[in-house]
Structure 1
Amino acid sequence: MTQITLLAGRVAPLPGSDRLSGIDKRPVDRPLMLGHQGFQGDEQADLRVHGGVEKAVHHYPLDHYAAWRADLGPLPLLDAPGAFGENVSTLGLTEADVAVGDIFRLGGALVQVSQGRQPCWKLTQRLGVADMARRVQGTGRTGWYYRVLEPGMVAPGDRTLRIDRIAPEWTLRRIWHAFYIDRLNPEELRGIAALEVLAEGWRRHALRRLESGRVEDWTKRLEGSA
Structure 2
Amino acid sequence: MTMLTRITSLHTGRARDRWEGRPPSAIGKEAVAGPLMLGLEGLAGDEQADRTVHGGPEKALHHYPADHYAAWADAWPEHAVTFCAGGFGENVSTTGLTEADICLGDRLRLGAALVEICQGRQPCWKLSAHTGIGEMAARLQKSGRTGWYYRVIEPGEVAVGDAVALTERRHPDWPLSRVIAARFDSRLDPAVAAAIAALPELSESWRKSFLKKTDPAFVEDTGARLSGA
List structure 1 segments (4+ residues) > 6 angstroms apart after TM superposition. Answer: none
Per the normalisation by structure 2, the TM-score is: 0.93
Counterpart CA distance in 1 for 2:226 and 2:202 is: 22
Among 67, 70, 74, the residue aligned to 1:66: 70
1:193 maps to which residue? 197
Equivalents in 2 of 1:133, 1:86: separation in Å?
Answer: 14
Give the TM-score normalised by the residue count of structure 1: 0.94
Is 1:116 the counterpart of 2:125? The answer is: no
Give percent identity, aligned residues only: 51
What is the alpha-carbon distance in structure 1 between the residues aligned to residue 91 and residue 43 of structure 2?
A: 8
Confirm or deny that 1:216 pairs with 2:226: no
Across the aligned residues of Structure 1 and Structure 2, the Cα RMSD in angstroms comes to 1.4
The residue identity in structure 1 corresponding to 2:10 is: L
User: Which runs of 5 or more structure 1 residues have no equivalent in the other structure?
Assistant: none
Q: How far off is 1:17 after superposition?
A: 5.8
Structure 1 residue 172, shift from structure 2 partner: 1.5
CA distance in structure 2 between the aligned counterparts of 1:176 and 1:153, rounded to whole angstroms: 29
**Deviations for 1:6-33, whole angstroms, at most 9, x for unmatched residues?**
1111112225665310101111022110
**Number of residue pairs the alignment of both structures matches:** 224
Indicate yes or no: 2:30 matched with 1:26: yes
Which residue of 140, 144, 149 corresponds with 1:140?
Answer: 144
Alignment partner of 1:179 out of 177, 180, 183: 183
Residue 6 of structure 2 aligns with which residue?
3
Q: Deviations over 1:153-208 (max 9, x none)?
A: 11112121111101121112111222223633122111111111111111111111
Give the partner amino acid of 1:9: G
Q: Bigger shift: 84-93 or 154-163?
A: 154-163
Q: For structure 2, list consecutive stretches of 5 or more residues without a partner in the other structure.
A: none
Query: For residue 144 of structure 1, what is the amino acid of its counterpart?
Result: W
Contact 1:61 1:89 in 2 (8 A): yes
1:15–1:126 contact (8 Å) kept in structure 2: no
